[in-house]
Chains A and B, each alone.
Chain A
């Protein structure tokens, strides 16, 4: 395993917004993550890929403030920070969309977007402001949500994912973490979400796209970090990395052809 300092030296483009250094996490006796280093730079889609039990969701939880690492440091703009809760992470500009999305199916799209953060006017809900902002936001994401006033239960899986991502964007975060956003989706809905990821990058967000579906990652990621059984399994640049290279790195079938930089 290479040392963190060796990895630090390779970054030649923009300074990372978010960095993990030597992060480890245990759950009881299970070592979910061991000594992980990671950099997230502005306007890039970082694909985090790994098979089941590679530690992907644990990593998402640590970045989003849901889990506290047992060892290692987290840096935002080069300064060490403590992400004690999702609210802490949000304050530092990191928003996460977890696999279960946390949408209330009986509420409509606008109600879900602003739940617990509704703007008010003279003490009453300001529906006009909410609907207006929702139109703007979903318009920027160029989405196919049928109606802002449709209950979320009437939306498809892809549309729900879009609503959850839109909600994450309300605080204008710099880093958006997507945990397995395509895991439960069909082909067309997956394409919708992948489009959305590209639009996030165009809007200037950094995206951490966590998935075990190598093909989905390949479509949008600029860079891959491979996790294997909780360990760092290599880093690959999108250019020149084939599907087989990713699979090989995920499963450890053969060593990836070294770390490449574009």
Chain B
């Protein structure tokens, strides 16, 4: 067999894609995945609990801060979603974000290069790293789990070298990156316009699809369902834009993050590439037999993952107006991977959604933000976050158990 059929990064307690059936007391699922409902429920629960414990948690100003905190690690988590979807893992996303932050800061501050050059250089670090992982896993069959662990060490070392003996470099507050990340907010007219455009486009596409399906004699979404979804989407967007608008509003990094989530979502669900990603993550050997370009798809996910990680690091540097040896440190990759999994993206590959990055990171940031408001320390935060992750992992594994064939 080709190296692409080598075992994926880890397969804990797995019976393999077509292995012996494992029956769980759930019965067959009705249709599709349970999707995002669990994480939406978790988010509402977390907000209810913290809102009761400290009403300041649900204030518009605090929620604006929460979204700003979420954006950098959320962008990294979005990359993690892509890598997990294809059945791989990248443990070095934190290190990539750290090195990207260091590159931007050092090139613009110490070397006084123009900001766009620094940004391009930082992003290309992500591209090259992802290419390296992709080629080594698909051509040589190296396991991604250990390969990216090695990458983590190497990249962290380079990050320290780039930062030099001082170990920390500050960005001036008038830097374009800092202004973008800290002080840039969508003007209300733009925010409302974008929300209205989103509703219009989504509804327009649904109506068009409905008409085509009717013409083709296929079952189609009922009219009440269509109206309900449109009203629901409009209400949700209006609530978000309106409520955040009573404070500072929607920050540029947040808008960028949401736009990237929408883009990745469309790519995953509506393009041949996205379908190949799910096929490769679900059953690599079958995808190969059918003619999916397994190697190319895997490499593209590694590249996208590392590049998004680099972008997350750039946003983090802008938000902190600095890069130091701790930027992108241990917490970052753990939180990014945890966010993806809590959001409902499977560690086993083939199942997930771009929105799981957004929702998962909101859950994690809400927990950390809420505990801080209650004056609880980092220790509590780690423990609670760890427990939430364990819960999400349990759900993931049980879902996979259900996925195991119960019929030969």
Contacts and interface: CB of A to CB of B under 8 A. Distances in A.
Interface residues of A, number: 38
Nearest to B269: A125
A255 interface: no
Contacts of B279: 104, 107, 111, 115-116
Nearest to B276: A116
Contacts of B275: 107, 111, 115, 118, 125
Nearest to A124: B270
Contacts of B270: 124-125
Given A132-B218, A156-B407, A104 B272 contact: no
Nearest to A132: B216
A120 B85 CA distance: 22
B161 interface: no
Interface string A111-138: 1000111101001110111011001000
Contact of A154 (B29, B213, B271, B286): B29
Given A111-B275, A125-B272, A106 B31 contact: no
Contacts of A239: none
Contacts of A135: 218
A124 B268 CA distance: 11
A106 B291 contact: no
Contacts of A149: 31-32
Interface string B29-41: 1011000000000
B141 interface: no
A100 B18 contact: yes
B405 interface: yes
Contact of A123 (B28, B271, B282): B271
A115 B287 contact: yes
Contacts of B184: none
Contact of B216 (A108, A115, A128, A154): A128
A151 B32 contact: yes
Contacts of B18: 100, 105
A118 B279 CA distance: 13
A14 interface: no
Contact of B287 (A101, A104, A123, A155): A104
A25 B275 CA distance: 37
A173 to B, nearest CB: 15
Q: A-side binding surface: helix, strand, loop or mixed? A: loop
Nearest to A120: B272
B291 A116 contact: yes
Nearest to A111: B275
A6 interface: no
B313 to A, nearest CB: 31
B343 interface: no
A147 B271 contact: no
Given A125-B275, A150-B31, A157-B408, A104 B286 contact: yes
Contacts of B29: 154
Nearest to A114: B275
A70 B204 CA distance: 59
A103 interface: yes
B286 A103 contact: yes
B379 interface: no
B17 interface: yes
Contacts of A125: 270-272, 275
B209 interface: yes
A102 B289 contact: yes
A102 B287 CA distance: 7
A45 to B, nearest CB: 25
A159 to B, nearest CB: 9
Interface in A182-238: 184-185
A111 B408 CA distance: 21
A91 interface: no
B212 A128 contact: yes
A106 B272 contact: no
In this complex, which of B282, B285, B291 has the most chain A Cβ atoms within 10 angstroms of its Cβ?
B282
24 contacts: A98-B289, A102-B285, A102-B289, A103-B286, A104-B282, A105-B405, A106-B282, A107-B278, A115-B276, A118-B275, A120-B271, A123-B271, A124-B271, A127-B209, A128-B209, A131-B218, A132-B218, A135-B218, A150-B31, A153-B403, A154-B29, A155-B407, A156-B407, A185-B408
10 closest cross-chain pairs (CB), A and B: A106-B282, A116-B291, A102-B286, A102-B289, A106-B350, A104-B283, A104-B282, A124-B270, A132-B216, A116-B292
Interface of A: 86-87, 98, 100-108, 111, 115-118, 120, 123-125, 127-129, 131-132, 135, 147, 149-151, 153-157, 184-185
